[in-house]
Amino acid sequence: MTRVSMRVDGVTYTDEVEPRTLLVHHLREALGKVGTVVGCDTSNCGACTVHLDGQAVKSCTVLAVQADGAEVTTIEGIGSTDALHPVQKAFHEQHGLQCGFCTPGMIMASIDLLKENPSPSEDEVREGIEGNLCRCTGYQNIVRAVQQAAREMSGTSETLGAQS
Amino acid sequence: MTVTEDPATTAPSAPEKEIGQARRRKEDAHLITGETTWTDNMVLPGMLHMALVRSPVAHARITAIDVSAAREAPGVVAVLTGQDVAEEQGSIPSAWQVTPDMVNPGHPSLAVDQVNHVGEAVALIVARSRAAATDAIELVDVDYDTLPPVLDVEEAAKEGADLVHSHLSSNTSYHFVFDAGEAGTGSDTEQAFADADVVVSRRFVNQRLIPAFMEPRSVVVQPVGDSFTMWSATQIPHILRVMAAMVTGIPEHKLRVIAPDVGGGFGGKLQVNPEEILALLVARRLGKPVKWTETRSESLMAAHHGRDQVQYIDIAADREGNVKGLRVRLLADMGAYLRLITAGTPALGAFMFPGIYKFPAYRFELDGVFTTKTPTDAYRGAGRPEATFAIERIMDELAVELGMDPLELRRKNWIDAEEFPFTTVAGLEYDSGDYDTATRRALELIGYDELREEQRRRRESGDPVQLGIGFSTFTEMCGIAPSRVLGSLSFGSGGWEHATIRMLPTGKVEVVTGSTPHGQGHETAWSQLVADRLGVPFEDIEVLHGDTAIASRGLDTYGSRSLVVGGAAVVRAADKVIAKARKVAAHLLEASEDDLEFDGGRFSVRGTPGTGMAIQEIALAVFTAHNYPEDIEPTIDADAAFDPVNFSFPHGTHICAMEVDTETGFVKIRKYACVDDVGTIVNPLIVEGQIHGGLAQGIAQALYEEAVYDADGNLTTGTFVDYLVPSAADLPHFDTDNTVHVAPGNPIGAKGVGEAGCIASTPAVVNAALDAVRHLGVRDIRMPLTPERVWRAVHEGGDGGDRATAKTNAQGAESAQAPSTGTSSTGGAL
């Protein structure tokens, strides 16, 4: 067992983990952060995406021990029902989710995308989230959501009308 | 109404009615914040974890299993083999006896003495942690005496083929025939073909797919005394409860099934899974809660697959393009076992092959055939996408043979708007629609004339990137219900749906529905229905579902039935609430019931302004029950069950414009437009979302997805690396619109939308690709249209699929054979 300490959604946790433990399993099983989910075993689906020191990572490709000393943000740490993150709000308003299983990862990936590219075109959004799979929406409303969030986060929501 | 614009701008500011509004979903709040209740999130005190040892070979006798090392492994509590549970595991149920003599070999949850597909469970491990259970899988030593794999459905169906189940006399489980001449719904098919000017025959391969819901299957069972609570990622908690009770002998009233948040299904969670039965048996045996959650690789390998048909289609017509007859022979690859509706899924398609066209004669034959592969079962559309693909592809082939425009041929033969209701050659009564209006709107939406012009330019200039346009003018049967019809088809269940409305003393409303959602938005849409009917605020309504102890009666969610049947039950229950409340209102207002009006949630006495009572006040009045009529019970709550007399028939026109790079074989959807008629639209946001999701899956069948087995019967597409669920970058923008022809068969007027996009889109995409390269001599391209297949079809002839599938899935060119029932062909050989 190895001792790891990490700050997750603003709270510091110190635990003993088996070195082989994946970050996503540590988050879910040891810390109870079950908002982050596991959708595959080959790092294709992106459902487990979290931010590690501000960068989006698939938490199934990171060992818990690699996150020792790091700052981790999950879907549970970006906003609340009363104070949604603009990306959360946009997913709701644009119907960017159906079953919601891919949603935590999709939102975390989208926030990262908008950090890199604050005003992405439709094609840029599609390329930017291609590491996250959704089986329900056909992606069009996710694209709309990301573009809405981009407008809101850059303060241009009043000047730009509907796209797509 | 048009739903192509930004939904954020479509909601009117002061709505009169909820129905028709693009309400944002109630479901979203907990899903976007991670406050979810997926089954795998659940942790119970003392909970154990189950892992399964699965067969690495397709077909073998089990000669020995040594579990001694696994039993000694750290953290392992129990190891069970098929022999250990043989007496109590029963058989996974098959709910559809397609023919009286259909053969069901039985389906053990744990293989006892023989495995029949890769991934079949042969032993289970129960341990203190998931990791310990998984580690111990490696320690189970199974001796297999291998048998020849049976992989090619056309070979498997032949006399003398290697048998999947050695105790059966053949691999064919059943032979189902629908003959319109014999049924009295059409004329003699053989005569129609004999008399026809033109006959076109084709063999289509509708490849094996995997539903690939995003949430892996998961089940938790908690024993309490002699009772059990099962949480499962299922579409069908009610059916699962009944079936699990029948399979295990646990009395139905001692079993509660809960579907918490469920992450998609698409038919893939319309199942009584072996793993659910095993979790129940383990919990009973050990007296401890147990959890099983699959990995994605397990899911792709062991959860049921979909489609997988070889279709022999013959179409007869006169020279003017009037269709005269349709003949269909199907081989359905059912895999190794009959699961819940493995057998019935291809049979459901029997009634949809004629599509929207006025065929005078029709004959359908279907063989359900066992192979040593994962069982197939329902996948979004379930029998209807396969039928729609065949008819929409063969209409294009007939148009080519006749030298007609494919749309002109369709127009000449489709049911005209004024002919509804129309009884088809398959005996279905299509309820309403207007195919011409939908088509004209779709042509506008895609910019048809410009695209044709561009196609001409590219053709003339010999552009390496060619453009094609493909159509699918489709209909489907939805609202899987009419219980009497299902009975006549020997389905094992009815198709009604149930609802309860509870009027709470504070004026809030609970709506209990038997239709269990897994992403469809029932909570929002049902709230809209009830808000309009009862005149209570949308926000004051809570929709309860997915727990057999709360929603005690229900038949769950599949077949685009939720709104059409389940929503209709909710409306009926609301009407009963109003009827009960009317008696109380009359009593309290000291008026005659006949003098009361109910509008906007209030009863008032006609002609007496200012009088009246809100329905919420009546709910409180019957709660205190201090003053109510003597001849009634003090409640206005109501139950209703709804069982329509007919299916509903959504329809639409889908048009795909496709670029095909003839040098690389790469295909790219340039534009996709569709106009769907799904009847009354309760929530345009949700309807558009359902269409989008369906399109993605239908397009994925055309372009990306296929479950491939190698020559030994190993699934080679067993991870998301190899099984290509499309990403956002792989799919186009969709232009969608609706026409609305109200369904007469339910009080909402809705027709169902969950499967439409998936059913319609696949042939539009393939027709578009072929339209782009047909002038280069290409006659067919095998799905999925990978660059390799397209390139081979363009440069080497054939359908491009032979090399890619040689010695793998079946359906190689060498096994292609003429259908036994129809060999005449002036329209081109197979």
Task: Give the pLDDT confidence of B365-385 residue by residue, as tens digits.
Answer: 999 999 999 999 999 999 999
Decide if B41 touches A, using CB distance below 8 A: yes
Edge-to-edge order in the sheet of strand B60-66: B114-115, B60-66, B141-146
Contact B498, B539 (CB under 8 A): no
Instruction: Give the whole-angstrom CA distance, residue B327 versus residue B354.
Output: 9
Choose one of A16, A48, A76: the last residue of a domain.
A76
Let me know whether A71 and A95 are in one domain. no
DSSP code per residue over chain A = -EEEEEEETTEEEEEEE-TT-BHHHIIIIIS--TTS----SSS-S-TTEEEETTEEEETTSSBGGGGTT-EEE-GGGS-BTTB--HHHHHHHHTT--SS-SSHHHHHHHHHHHHHH-SS--HHHHHHHTTTS--SSS-SHHHHHHHHHHHHHHTT-TTT-----
Q: What is the pLDDT of residues B234-251, one digit of tens each?
A: 999 999 999 999 999 999
The shortest C-alpha distance from A69 to chain B (Å) reads 24
Residue A159 lies in a domain: no
Which CATH number goes with the domain that contains A99? 1.10.150.120
**pLDDT at position B611, please?**
83
Rounded Cα–Cα distance for residues B382 and B388 (Å): 11
Q: Are residues B599 and B683 in the same domain?
A: no
Q: Are residues B546 and B599 in the same domain?
A: yes
Residue B773 located in a structural domain: yes
- What is the model's pLDDT at position B803? 52
Subunit contact A107:B725, Cβ cutoff 8 A: no
Distance of CA B391 to the CA centre of its chain: 19
Q: Please indicate, yes or no, if residue B569 is contained in any of the structural domains.
A: yes
Residue B263, pLDDT above cutoff 60:
yes
Identify the CA nearest to B723 among candidates B33, B52, B213: B213
At which of B642, B677, B696 does a domain end?
B642
Confidence of residue B608 (pLDDT cuts 50, 70, 90): confident
What is the model's pLDDT at position A7?
98
User: What is the structure's pLDDT at B806?
Assistant: 46
Q: B145 burial class (0-12, 13-18, 19+ CB within 10 angstroms)?
A: exposed
Chain B residues 729-788 within an 8 A CB cutoff of chain A? 729-731, 733-734, 757
Closest-CA distance, B608 to chain A, in angstroms, reads 43
- Any idea which residue has 């209006």 for tokens? B437
Domain-located, residue A24: yes
Q: pTM for the full model? A: 0.95
Residue A106 lies in a domain: yes
Tell me, yes or no, whether B615 and B737 share the same domain.
no
Can you give the pLDDT at residue B12?
39
Tens digit of each residue's pLDDT (9 = 90 or more) over B160-212: 999 999 999 999 999 999 999 999 999 999 999 999 999 999 999 999 999 99
Residues B538 and B635 in one domain: yes
- For residue B825, being part of any structural domain is answered with no
**Under 8 Å between Cβ of B118 and B301:** yes
The domain in which residue B593 lies consists of 496-642
Whether residue A64 sits in one domain with residue A121: no
Q: Specify whether B637 is located in the same domain as B736.
A: no
A76, A106, A125 - which closes a domain: A76
* Residues B219 and B271: beta-carbon distance below 8 Å: no
Domain of residue A32 covers 2-76
Does A95 lie in the same domain as A69?
no
Give the domain CATH number at B617.
3.30.365.10
Q: Which parts of chain A register pLDDT below 50?
A: 158-164
Does the beta carbon of B6 lie under 8 angstroms from any beta carbon of chain A? yes
Identify the band that residue B812 occupies on the pLDDT scale cut at 50, 70 and 90: very low
pLDDT reading at B805 higher than 80: no
Paired sense of beta strands B48-54 and B290-293, if any: parallel
Query: What pLDDT band is residue B610 in, cutting at 50, 70 and 90?
Result: confident
* Judgement on whether residues A48 and A99 belong to the same structural domain of the protein: no
Name the β-bridge partners of B414: B357
Which of B595, B611, B642 is the C-terminal boundary of a domain?
A: B642
Decide if B774 is inside a domain. Answer: yes
Decide if B441 is inside a domain. yes
In whole angstroms, give the CA distance from residue A44 to residue B204. Answer: 31
- Minimum-distance CB partner of B693 among A45, A98, A148: A98
Does residue B599 surpass a pLDDT of 80?
yes
Do A115 and A72 share a structural domain? no
Q: Does B505 share its domain with B631?
A: yes
By C-alpha distance, which of B38, B40, B42, B118 is closest to B295?
A: B40
pLDDT at residue number B802: 67
* Cβ <8 Å between B296 and A36: no
In whole angstroms, give the CA distance from residue A83 to residue B33.
10
* Confidence grade of residue B481 (pLDDT, cut at 50, 70, 90): confident
A57 lies in a domain? Answer: yes
- B502 and B605 in a single domain? The answer is yes
Strands (E), B666-822: 667-677, 734-739
Mean pLDDT of chain B: 94
B41–A28 C-beta distance less than 8 A: yes
pLDDT over 70 (residue B829): no
CB contact under 8 A, B720 and A40: yes
Give the model's pLDDT for residue A157. Answer: 56
pLDDT, position B300? 98
B635, B753: one domain: no
What is the helix (H) or strand (E) element at residue B109, kind and residue range?
none
Domain boundary among A14, A42, A76: A76
Assess whether A13 and A35 both reside in one domain: yes
Report yes or no on A81 lying in a domain. no
Do both B638 and B602 map to the same domain?
yes
B387, B349 in Cβ contact below 8 A?
yes
Q: What is the pLDDT of residue B4?
A: 41
Is some CB atom of chain B closer than 8 A to the CB atom of A16? Answer: no
- Calculate how close chain A gets to B521, using CA atoms only, in Å: 7
Question: What integer is the mean pLDDT of B395-401?
Answer: 98
User: What CATH number is attached to the domain comprising A57?
Assistant: 3.10.20.30
Q: Judge whether B516 lies within some domain.
A: yes
User: Do B669 and B782 sit in the same domain of this protein?
Assistant: yes
How does residue B510 score in pLDDT terms, banded at 50, 70 and 90? very high
Pair B509, B625 in one domain: yes
Q: Is B459 a member of any domain?
A: yes
Q: Which residues of A touch B24 (CB under 8 A)?
A: 92-93, 95
Task: Give the C-alpha separation, B165 to B117, whole Å.
Answer: 11
B700 shares a domain with B601: no
Total domain count, chain B: 2
pLDDT of residue B609: 81
Count of structural domains within chain A: 2
φ/ψ of residue B259, rounded to 5: -105, 100
Task: Decide: B426 and B353 in contact? Cβ < 8 Å.
Answer: yes
